[in-house]
Chains A and B, each alone.
Chain A
Amino acid sequence: MNLAYSAEYERFRAEVRAFLAEHWRDDGTDTADPGSIAAAMGAVVRTDAKASEFRRLAAARGYLYRSIPKRYGGGEQPPDPLKAVIIAEEFRRAKAPFELMAQGPSMLVPTLLEHGTEAQKARFVEATLLGHVKWCQGYSEPGAGSDLAALKTRGVLEGDHWVVTGQKIWTSSAHEAQWMFALVRTEPDAPKHDGITYMLIDMQTPGIEVRPLRQMTGEADFNEVFLDNVRVPADSIVGKRGQGWQVSRSTLKHERALIGNASMIRRTFDGVLLLAQLTEVRGQPAIKDPVIRDRLADLEAQLLAAEYNSHRLLTASARGEDPGLAGLVIKLHSSTLQYHVTKLAMDIMGDRSMLAPGEATAPFSGMMTTAFMWYYGLALGGGAPNIQRNVIGERGLGLPRDQRK
């Protein structure tokens, strides 16, 4: 174990810093809505022209989208987790636009690179990485949640078009996406996992209706999408007909990596610590309460474990080792931790935790209350906790599958 960066890496860090100093100035032109998650994450998620141009430059220098070939707009670098960490640290410090974390770049792009045609890659990969094309994911349906492969939205080939009819739900960003990557049942007589096709659908096609779905936070970040005889060109499928389930597996794999994020919980924890220091409860700062201190220390121990575990996984991937169980548990571990950290904030605020986000007299304008509610979004997105437990039990511990149809 050696936690220092060698001279080679310190040189690399200096090089990244020089690049940022030359090419990115935080000029306060962030276009995100104040108070939104996007604003909290600052320039990182910006998609305006200035941010896109910067991303293109940074990718060309090999700093962003490092695993993606240059001909599709990536950085095309050999895997080096340490360099990846240094880049992330320096970009965060400079508040510079980083790799987009939306569903297009993190889920569709890896799938296209693995299964897409040359024409699909050329058309979509770079545009998606730079934020020019926004995507939504058409997977879940009212009758197909944890049992995703039970989905019923059907596609029938008529001449050179698929005609798609059905309903998708929990579709984040469908109201602003230009395209949807969707799972559609095209072989109704095949066993359920073998009858699905992975399709790219233009959201402007006639027959698509998007209805916003408000989540419990009060905001409407996701939607229902109704498809009524939507005509999709026959060549808009990824992989072969009937193999959409296998094609989509690479997408879900990437979603699990996306959601387990120790550094996001660190920011929340630091906020809770500040809240405990600033909030007077019955005549003293909450942080002086022995029970609050005990819980803070317990949560920090778990948070440190999550942070060091991510270093351990990086090291394993740099050495070409399979991280095994340590990788499978990340999502469940980090979402559970997010619950306990934000729950502590609710307890510290006492009766002020009754106030809704945005209420002027709420501590931190209710940001912690929003974060507490978002735990549920994190826990459920990409597979409910019990689905995670099945994966951990079966793939991680080797326990048998239970009886399923």
Chain B
Amino acid sequence: MDFGLSEDQVLFKDSLRRFLDAECPATRVRAVMEGPDGHDRRLWGQLAQMGVTGLMVPPEHGGAGLELLDLALAAEELGRSATPGPFLAVAMATAALLESGNAEAQKRWLSGIASGKQVVTFALGEGIGEWDAARVATRATGGKLSGEKPVVPYAGVADAILVAAQDTDGPALYLVERGAPGLAVSALSGLDMTRRTDRVVFVDTPATKVASGRRAIDRARDVGLVLLAADAYGGSRRCLDMTVQYALTREQFGQVIGAFQGVKHQLADLATDLEPALSLWWYAAHAYDHIPDRSERHAALAKALFADLYDRAIRTAIELHGGIGFTWEFDLHLWFRRAMFDRAYLGESRYHRARAAELAGW
């Protein structure tokens, strides 16, 4: 038994961190944020070269054929650097394609995902807080989709959208290509400007059925939940680290503020909640590939816990920074934005805890 990262995983994580520190500082994040579509194609190409976009893509399609834990370690680093781009969207789409067992769709899309040349996203939620594949209203009839997905990450730059819909057999996964007739994608002004979302409407839009049933949809959702937890951990740790650094240099009342117990204890409390919790998303990621009967529930619990922790981390960070933390110029609000995305996307904490209770048979 070994509950830890492999040497390769540690090396990969370190090299990704060094790359992002050098290539994706806050200045670049802000430039992408203020750009038209929140997608920096050069940065995405660099990440693809490092293997980030194809971590879970099988080698025959040009990827590394690794597991969700590897992907989640990347998510942690991207979250730490508030890296903009469609990483989460593409990861969920990859999982949906892999789980669909549809060789034709895999052949058509996976190599483009791995090389970074194509972006595929995943559209699940409808209404407010409805993320259950059995309850979506988007309908597929005779190979055509009708319905609305109010919040879809990076649909605006996507070459294809994997859509959770209902047909005569129940839930199913359909694929719509960019520019299809009756497809309307309108950009939303989102709180998190580092991860863009669009409203997507289908009116008799031609679509290809990729998989029957809800399994591919559920597995893609679970990948999303674990990656959100990992992103939230990376972002929370960044909040903690930035605030510790600030507390070591900012002087008031004749001493650095980190020497005051009021400050020290708030940071100690945050560290106390964050540090053990890391092990929960590690386990959830590992369970996705190795412990099927625990995978769904752990993904739900991890996402719920980390959405709440991130909210606390950013609050502590901004409060301890004082007025500077409330300014646009200071970078902390980048992580505030990420935290707001992570807490809400794919369903709020309460919803996932209710699911976890149900899954436990309580």
Contacts and interface: CB of A to CB of B under 8 A. Distances in A.
Given A304-B283, A326-B276, A293 B362 contact: yes
B248 A399 contact: yes
Interface centre among B272, B275, B276, B283 (most CB of A within 10 A): B276
A401 interface: yes
A386 B69 CA distance: 35
Interface centre among B5, B248, B271, B286 (most CB of A within 10 A): B271
Nearest to B280: A305
Contacts of A394: 264
A334 to B, nearest CB: 9
A389 B264 contact: yes
B304 A1 contact: no
Interface string A282-303: 0000010010011011101110
A304 B291 CA distance: 15
B75 to A, nearest CB: 16
Nearest to B258: A399
B305 A311 contact: no
A399 B266 CA distance: 12
Contact of A386 (B5, B265, B349): B265
Interface in B306-362: 308, 349-350, 353-354, 356-357, 360, 362
A8 B272 CA distance: 35
A85 to B, nearest CB: 8
A3 B3 CA distance: 7
Contact of B4 (A82, A290, A312, A400): A312
A312 B301 contact: no
Given A297-B357, A305-B280, A325 B1 contact: no
Nearest to B290: A3
B279 A308 contact: yes
A51 B311 CA distance: 51
Interface in B126-144: none
B74 interface: no
A393 interface: yes
B104 interface: no
A389 B301 CA distance: 27
A250 interface: no
A186 B199 CA distance: 76
Interface in B271-296: 271-273, 275-280, 282-283, 286, 290-291
Majority DSSP secondary structure for residues of B touching A: helix
B70 to A, nearest CB: 10
B305 A301 contact: yes
A315 interface: yes
A400 B247 CA distance: 9
Chain A: number of interface residues, binned into ranges? 35 or more
A390 B264 CA distance: 7
A296 B357 contact: yes
Contact of A389 (B5, B269, B278, B283): B269
A402 B349 CA distance: 38
Given A297-B356, A305-B280, A315 B362 contact: no
B295 to A, nearest CB: 13
B140 to A, nearest CB: 34
A273 B361 CA distance: 12
A306 B3 contact: no
Nearest to B5: A1
Contacts of B349: 298
A397 B353 contact: no
Contacts of A294: 350, 353-354, 357
B356 A1 contact: no
A3 to B, nearest CB: 6
A399 B277 contact: no
B2 A402 contact: no
A314 B2 CA distance: 9
Given A300-B356, A402-B260, A397 B268 contact: yes
Nearest to A9: B1
B256 A400 contact: yes
A225 B212 CA distance: 74
B264 A399 contact: yes
Contact of A401 (B6, B259, B301): B259
B304 A301 contact: yes
Contacts of B279: 305, 308-309, 311-312
Nearest to B283: A308
A393 B283 contact: no
Interface centre among A1, A4, A316, A326 (most CB of B within 10 A): A1
B267 interface: yes
Nearest to B69: A1
Given A301-B304, A319-B4, A401-B259, A329 B353 contact: no
Contacts of B4: 1, 312, 315-316, 319
B261 A402 contact: yes
A290 to B, nearest CB: 7
A300 B260 contact: no
Contacts of A325: 271, 275
Nearest to B352: A297
B290 A397 contact: no
B244 interface: yes
Contacts of A398: 244, 248
Contacts of B69: 1
A67 B256 CA distance: 43
A306 B280 CA distance: 8
Contact of A329 (B265, B276, B301): B276
Contacts of B290: 3
Contacts of A302: 277, 305
B362 A308 contact: no
Given A2-B2, A400-B248, A301 B301 contact: yes
A269 B256 CA distance: 41
Contacts of A400: 248, 255-256, 258-259
B304 A297 contact: yes
Given A330-B276, A399-B267, A315 B248 contact: no
Contact of A3 (B255, B264, B286): B286
9 contacts: A3-B286, A5-B1, A297-B360, A298-B305, A300-B360, A312-B278, A329-B268, A399-B247, A399-B248
Given A293-B353, A298-B349, A312-B282, 19 more contacts: A4-B1, A273-B362, A297-B304, A298-B308, A308-B3, A308-B276, A309-B275, A309-B277, A311-B279, A312-B3, A315-B1, A325-B275, A389-B261, A390-B261, A392-B271, A396-B268, A398-B248, A399-B244, A400-B259
Which 6 pairs, one residue from A and one from B, show the smallest C-beta to C-beta distance? Answer: A308-B279, A393-B264, A297-B353, A309-B276, A311-B3, A392-B268
